[in-house]
Amino acid sequence: MENRLYVCSSPHLRDNVTTQRIMLDVIIALLPAAAAGIVYFGLRSAIIIVTTVAASVLTEYLMRKGLKREQTISDLSAVVTGLLLALNLPPSIPVWIAVVGAVIATGLIKQLFGGLGQNFMNPALGARVILVVAWAKQMTTWTEPFVDTVAGATPLGLLDATATATPIGAAYSYMDMFLGRTPGCIGETSALAILLGFVYLLFRKVISWHIPVLFTGTVAVLTWILGPEGLFTGDPLYHVLAGGLLLGAVFMATDYVTCPMTRKGIIIYAAGCGILTTLFRLYGNMPEGVSFAIVLMNVVTPLIDRYTIPVAFGGEKHVE
């Protein structure tokens, strides 16, 4: 029986898309935000980015080796995690804290739970949340763009401290925030850079518009309604541009592994992210709440999935 034929189940044709290519697309989409961070906050941002990426990949490599599992670093997901983590850290963060963050993200949240596809929350955000709690001071020390001096407050911090009716007269204009000329995490300040990445991801069909738009939309509407001087006096644009909302909505909330997959589930999830973010921002004791909101919604995602199983085609009349 030479010339044996290969037999397997259909389909015998597969699309070109691969997990690796998707990860590469996410990396490409994050480059503008990373570049903006380096431009505004200097070489230090580059050092943090390289450190977290290297630490994340190394952690994954060692964990897989230690657990005697197949090597997976070629799927590039560890690079994405490292990069996302760096973009969520202040530029002045001590390098060793950044390394700890990368180990928590890739080692604890991702690999200990089974690796790619098994993490129960977004690894980079989960790590960020732990760092914020553990090293609150270092995680909230900000740098003024272009000059390496300690800044007073981020746009959100400013809002929190003064609770002024209209922050427009404050230190940062919409244009500053759109371009990213404000203190903040390395990759979160420039709305323009993030939107470039968003457009790229949409163009490559890596993500759909639903989660980012519904998430930011919910925050915009709620912050407008729940304004500082009574109902409908808020400044939604300020809230959308300030802080980590756009970075979170475009790159973190859309993490495949930890967001729901059905249309209905996505709506619940994105709205939940928006509501929690608003509550944390307006009524919490920290200025920012995006990471906490997303991480919380990550955790309820399995539940959302379980209760949003779509009706099968032709199954409408057979509700059981």
**Which chain residues interact with another protein by CB under 8 A?**
3, 5-15, 17-19, 21-22, 72, 75, 77, 115-118, 256-257, 259, 261-262, 305, 309-318
CB of 209 to another protein, least distance (A): 14
- Nearer of residues 90 and 212 to another protein, judged by Cβ: 212
Residue 138 burial class via C-beta count within 10 angstroms: exposed 0-12, middle 13-18, buried 19 and up:
middle
- Least Cα distance to 277 among 215, 208, 231 occurs for 215
Q: Please list the alpha-helical segments (H only) found in 149-307.
A: 155-162, 174-179, 191-203, 210-225, 236-241, 245-247, 263-283, 290-307
Separation between Cα atoms, residue 43 and residue 91, nearest integer Å? 9
Tokens of 225: 């309604």
How far are the Cα atoms of 14, 57, 110, 115, 262 from residue 257, in angstroms, in the given order?
22, 19, 11, 11, 13
The minimum distance between CB 114 and another protein, in angstroms, equals 8
Dist. CA 214–CA 200, nearest whole Å: 19
Q: How far is the CB of 261 from another protein (least distance, A)?
A: 4
Q: Are 265 and 308 in contact (CB under 8 A)?
A: yes
Please identify, using beta-carbon distances, which residue of 8 and 231 lies nearer to another protein.
8
Strand boundaries in 53-119, DSSP class E: none
Residue 145 CB, shortest distance to another protein, in Å, is: 35
Measured from the CB atom, is 232 or 316 closer to another protein? Answer: 316
- How far is it, in rounded angstroms, from Cα 67 to Cα 83? 24
**Any idea what the Cα angle at residue 73 is, between residues 266 and 108, rounded to 5°?**
65
Decide whether 150 or 309 has the Cβ nearer to another protein. Answer: 309
For the bound state, the minimum distance from the C-beta of residue 69 to another protein, rounded and expressed in Å, comes to: 11
| Choice between 66 and 310, CB closer to another protein | 310
Residue 287 preceded by cis peptide, ω within 30: no
Q: Which residues, 6+ apart, have CB-to-CB distance to 128 below 8 Å? A: 85, 88, 89, 101, 139, 291
Q: How far apart are CA 38 and CA 49, in angstroms?
A: 9
* Of 144 and 305, CB closest to another protein: 305
Least spacing, CB of residue 14 vs another protein, in Å: 6
Q: Which is nearer to another protein, 257 or 271 (CB)?
A: 257
Q: Min. distance of Cβ 317 from another protein in angstroms?
A: 6
Nearer to another protein, 116 or 275 (CB): 116
| Tokens (6 digits) for 113 | 């739970």
| Nearest in space to 245 (alpha carbons), one of 292, 204, 201 | 292
At closest approach, how far in Å is the CB of 27 from another protein? 15
Task: Provide the minimum distance between the beta carbon of 18 and another protein in the complex, in angstroms, as a whole number.
Answer: 5
In the complex with another protein, which residue's Cβ is closer, 28 or 257? Answer: 257
